Homo-oligomer: A and B are copies of this chain.
C-alpha cells in the first residue's frame, strides 16, 4: 500500500495510526500541503478533491485509491480484521463512530489548513484571532468528547463492567485514531489538553501515546517532518 499524506495533517495521522495498529506496512508518499503540492496536476489526477490522506491499496483484491480518513480506516478494518478497530456489535460500532465523528465532524473541519487560510485571507483575521477560533472549537469539541466518555463510563458501571482503557473498551478503536491527532495538533496552537478539565479524555490520550503504533505515527517521526 501507498499512503499519500503530510506529516502535519491530522487526518493523515489517523490513517498512519490505523495502519500501524493493523501491522500493515506502507510506502509513505509525502504531499507538501503548505507548499500547495496537493493542487499540482500530478496529485489532482489521483485525488478528486486535492485532499490528503489518499490510500492506494495496490496489494488488495480491490486495487483502488481511497480517500476520507474514517472511510479508509473502516475499509482497513473490514479487509484486515485483526486486531479489530471497531466493536463487533452494532451499538458498540455506533458509539465508536459517534466518538470519531465528534472529532471529525465537530472539531477538525473548522481548524484545518484551508479554513485557517480563509480566515487569514478573505476574512483578514490576525494570528491571535485565528488562534482564538482554533482553540474555541477544540475546547468545545473535546468537552463534548469528555461528556460522551462520561456517559459511556456510567453505562458500563450500570452493566457491572470495569472502566474502558481506551475511548471504547480495552483496545484502541477508530475513535482513538481520531482523538489523538486532534490533541497533538492542538499542541502547535498552545492548547494543552491538561488545562481543559477533560480527565477521561486526557487519560485515554496518555494510554494511546504509550503505544508504539501511536508513537510511530506522530508527525515528528514522519519522513517529511520539518
Contact = CB atoms under 8 A, between A and B. Distances in A.
A94 B71 contact: yes
A79 interface: yes
B93 A64 contact: no
A49 B104 contact: no
A78 B95 CA distance: 13
B91 A147 contact: no
A156 to B, nearest CB: 13
Identical chains bound together, number: 2
Given A49-B102, A109-B109, A94 B123 contact: no
Contact of A75 (B67, B91, B105): B91
B75 A148 contact: no
B75 A90 contact: yes
B144 A49 contact: yes
Interface string A103-137: 01110111000010010001101000100110010
A97 B70 contact: yes
Contacts of A89: 62
Interface residues of A, number: 45
Contacts of A51: 106, 144
Contact of A98 (B66, B132, B148): B66
A78 B90 contact: yes
Contacts of A129: 123
A48 B148 contact: yes
Nearest to A108: B105
A151 interface: yes
A97 B104 CA distance: 13
Interface in A67-105: 67-68, 70-72, 74-75, 78-79, 89-91, 93-95, 97-98, 101-102, 104-105
Nearest to A50: B144
Nearest to A129: B123
Given A97-B71, A97-B74, A64 B91 contact: yes
